[in-house]
Structure formats: structure tokens, C-alpha cells
Structure 1
Amino acid sequence: MKTKLIIAIATLAIAIGLYGLLTEAPPATEIKVTEIVVEEHKIKVWFLRNDVKRGQLVERSDFSIRQLPESEANALGIANESNMNFDKGSVYNRELTVQSAVFPEYITATNDLEYVELVLAENRVPFVIQVDPDVIIGGVIGHGSYVDVLAIANGGSKVSFNSDELSRPQFKSISVSPVLIGVKVLTIQQGTMSGGRNNSDVTSTVLVLELTRKQVAKLTVAKRIADLEVHKSIGSYNAADLSADAGDVLADYKAIKEFRANKIIIN
């Protein structure tokens, strides 16, 4: 009897175990969570590829461009993208080191008020001279060009006649001679003023030249006594190549030369 009871209990335990195995709950469905990554907005930033000095010309090759995350750009003080000024003649207005971020305010254009001071060499003076606007046409003379300044005079005074009057004998010594050779043009400025024929507007073009004190004095006198012409310099040459008089133009013109004795002898 006791044996039958043990067998019954064992059978019941086995049955319960089998039932538990057969009715085991299915495994929970795995839920995949996809992480959504929001890409940070990027800003274009300009960096220097080499050191630059104050007054140095700006070249496109000076820069490299990087796309920085907005947070990194903000850390550099940059909130929005900016474009660099590559106008011809523009210069840096401060000294900067390689890999520095560059801002538009670090660059000075030729029409800015401080430009002349930035490009002016040591112990030089800026000097303004008005020129014929036609000289600038076609880029003949530009920022940084070198020019020759010539004086056209008639016997020590400004020429005030037209070409038809050249045959008159009263014009004895029309001449062209160099005043300055190979001086640098710092900048070109153009404007409009009234006073032309029929009160029409006239385009005024001026060059700002870089001169020594002595050259300033010489050119100031030349402006008073002669008409001035400005031409692009073509390099080293003899000053005599820039000199001429009426005899070089008119084959039958005989210029009058005055000879004076340097001593007086009384017998």
C-alpha cells in the first residue's frame, strides 16, 4: 500500500513537471530601440594657411575653408557664414598667424579710409594728384602700379593753347621733362563733380602717390608751373628718354636757345 502511494506521488510530480514544461510562457518579444541622431548644423569658416603681416596684400591662396559644427564655430565667435573680400588691392589690417580664423573686418579694401595708412611705407608721404580718367581705362594704372610724372611747359609756364597754335613763333620752348620716375600708386580714387561744359558732371580721377619729402616738394612746384601727365612706368631707363621739345615733333621748327656768359670782362 505504501509502495503504491509513493508511486502515485511520483507519477503526480512527473505529470506536474511535464505540464509546466508544456505550458511554459513564450519568450517576450524583443523591442529594438533605434537611436535617432540629429546632425548638427555646420558653418563655413575661413582659416589662414600661413602667417600674414599688417598691410600685406590679400590673396585667395592665403585661405583654407573648413565646415565646422555650429557649436565649434560659436566657440570661435562665429554665428553665421561670411565671405572674404578679394577685391584687388585689399590688405590685412592686422598681423595674423597660421591657422587663425579670419573675419571680414580683418581685411581693408582700397576705398576704406584707413587703407592708405596701411600700405604707406616708412618715411613716405601720400600725395594726391589729379589725372586724366582715360589713363585708368583698361587697367593701365592700378593699385600698386609704378608711374612716371611728366611736366609739359611753355617757357616755364603752363601750356594753354591748342595744337593749331604750335606754328606761331611766340611759342619758343615747349618741352616735356620728367619730374618723378618710378613712383608707387597707393590707390586710385574716382568721383564726380560739376563744372564741365554746360555745367555737366565731370569724372574726377586722382592718384594717391607714395613719395619722399623731397619728391613732394618737387612735385608741388611742378604743379604750379606746368601741366602734369602721368604714365605707367615700364622699368629702368634714362631720364632723357622722357624729355622732348617742339623741335623733336616739328622737323622745320627751330627752337630758340639762349646763351649767357658766366663771366663779365671789362677792358
Structure 2
Amino acid sequence: MRSRIIFFVALIAILVGGYGIYDSVLKNKDKSSVVVNEIAPQPKKDSVEYITVWRTLNNIDRGESIANDALKREQMLLTDALDEGLRSDVELDFSPSTLFNRDLPQGALILPEYITRENDPGYIDLLVTEGMTLYPLVVSNKNLISDFIRPGERIDILTVSSPSSNLSGAIEKPIRFKGVTATLFLQNIKVLNMGGEDSEQKLKPVAGKSEDGFTTIIIEIPPTEVARLALAQRTMHLEVYRSREYEEPVYADVRNVMSNYIGIEEMRGSKNKNGREGEL
């Protein structure tokens, strides 16, 4: 009898234990299904920001004008740009009068402080080559060739002079031809601007279309040439041309253009009625 009771109690214990295990497994299964059905939160993506920057394609010299074809535009990570001291897009002024204020190697990043605009302090120092000085060359419009002269180009200055006549700004042709010569006075002179009142006029090409008035060409010359050019401008006829290489020295006198000039000169030995030698 006692053994039956023990067997019955053990059976009940086994049943209770089995039910407990079954119930535990069932609860865990329900929890797993709930976890599976829950939408997993999406991880936050960090936003990537870029800014626009500019780099040089070639070496840049101090005083060189800014040009779009000499630079390239890039997109730089904001994090990298902050290391360079940049927080926003780099905007450049591509006006022909804008100059670089320092030498820059190829591939260099261009910062706004590397350029100088026309009205900025120190601009005039960038225009003039070291060791040179500015000079305002006044040329009659009718003495300009029918070609364009732009700031930054090189010109040659030709003079026509006479030992007996002041040819600067002369309207009429000289009466006396003796000693009249034409020669290159200065070569490879850099033009800085055309001396206009506004920026558009300064950058506008100049051509000798009108015979009235004068044009001021701002050039740079060695300081040793200032006195000579000032005197030439007040005594000689001046013309300017685009600079080029010449195979022979440029020089001419009246004999080169008047085949009978020698004969005319020989007639000067004759005396007039007053006993004086004749003049041409």
C-alpha cells in the first residue's frame, strides 16, 4: 500500500514538473516571436557635407591675373576643409583685374586671402614688376595702329624725331626733312591698363579708330628710362605696336623712303640772291 502511495506521489511530481517545463518553453517561444515581429530601429546615418574649393593647375606667379582655365574646381569634405580653415564654399572674383598676391605651386588650394581685387590695399604693388616704375604714356589716337592693345600685353615704342622740329603732337608734317629718323625707342614694355575712368574702360581694348583726342597707356619701365621717355614724349612723334622679335634693328631715315632726297640735299650748296645757302 505504501509503495503505491509513493508511486502516485512521484507520478504527480513528474507531471507537475513536466507541465512546468512545457509552460516555460511555451512562454519563451512567445517572447521570441514578439522580438522577431518588432521592427529593428534603423541606425542613424551621419550626413556627409562638402564645400566647393579651387586648386591651381600650374604654378602661379605673384601679380598674375586670375583665369578660370588656370584653376580647377573640387568638392572637399567639410571635415577636411575645416582643417584648412574653410567653413563654406570658396567664391573667387574672376575679373581680369583680380591678381594673385603670392606665388602658388601647382595643386595648391586657393584661399580668399590669396587674391587681391582692384580696390584692395596693396593692389598697385602687384601691378608693378619688382625694380620697375609706372609711367603714363600719352599717345595721340591717330598714332595708334589699327589693332588691339590690352592690359598685360607687351608693346614697342617707335619714335620719329627731327633735330630741327618738335614733332610731339604736331598736326602738320615737318617742312624740313634733314635729320628726320624713325627708330625703336623702347621694346617689350608691359601695358598695365589704358588709363580709363572706370574699370570697363580700363580693360577695354584700344584701337586707333578716332583721330581726335589722346589715349593714356599706363606702362612700366626701368627707372633709368623715365627721363628719356619724358623728353621723347615732349619732342618726338610716338607710335606704339605690339611687341615682337625683329631680325634686324628697326631704323629708317628720309633717304630710305625718298629716292631723290640725296639730289635735293646736294642742291643746298647753291646760294640765293642774298648770298646765303638755301634751306629745304
* TM-score, length basis structure 1: 0.69
**CA gap 1:137/1:83 in 2 versus in 1, 3 angstroms:** farther
Does residue 148 of structure 1 match 2:151?
no
Structure 2 Cα separation of the partners of residues 13 and 148 of structure 1: 120
Deviation at 1:34, TM superposition (A): 0.7
For residues 214 and 255 of structure 1, do their structure 2 counterparts lie closer, same or farther at Cα, with a shift above 3 Å needed? Answer: farther
* 2:41 equivalent to 1:41: no
Q: 1:196-235 maps to which residues of 2 (within 5 A)?
A: 205-235=215-245
Of Structure 1 and Structure 2, the greater strand share is in 1
Identity among equivalent pairs (%): 21
2:31 pairs with 1:27? yes
Q: 1:39 to 1:236 in 2, by over 3 A?
A: same
2:221 and 2:146 map into 1 onto residues whose CA distance is 24
Q: Which residue of 2 aligns with 1:125?
A: 133
1:198 matched residue in structure 2: none
Alignment partner, residue 184 of structure 1: 189
Q: Deviations over 1:100-127 (max 9, x none)?
A: 5322331235776744532533432221
Distance in 2 of aligned mates of 1:217 and 1:257: 34
Give 1:225 deviation, angstroms. Answer: 1.1
Identify the match of residue 157 of structure 1 among 153, 162, 166. 166
SS at match of 1:3: helix
Tell me the distance in 2 between the aligned counterparts of 1:149 and 1:9: 129
The more displaced of 120-129 and 103-112 is 103-112
Q: Shift of residue 40 of structure 1?
A: 3.2
Task: Note the residue ranges of structure 1 that are not aligned, 5 or more in a row.
Answer: 194-201, 261-267
Residue matched to 1:172 = 176
Alpha-carbon distance, 1:136 to partner: 9.0
Alignment RMSD: 4.0
In the TM superposition, residue 76 of structure 1 has moved relative to its aligned partner by 2.7
Counterpart position of 1:67: 75
Tell me if structure 2 keeps the 8 A contact 1:108–1:115: yes
Q: Retained in 2: the 8 A contact 1:192–1:204?
A: no
Alpha-carbon shift at residue 63 of structure 1 (Å)? 4.3
**Separation (CA, whole Å) in 2 of partners of 1:172 and 1:204:** 26
Q: Is the 8 A contact 1:89 1:144 kept in 2?
A: no
Q: Secondary structure of the residue that 2:9 maps to in structure 1?
A: helix
Distance 1:150 1:110, change over 3 A: farther
> Across the two proteins, how many residue pairs are aligned to each other?
243
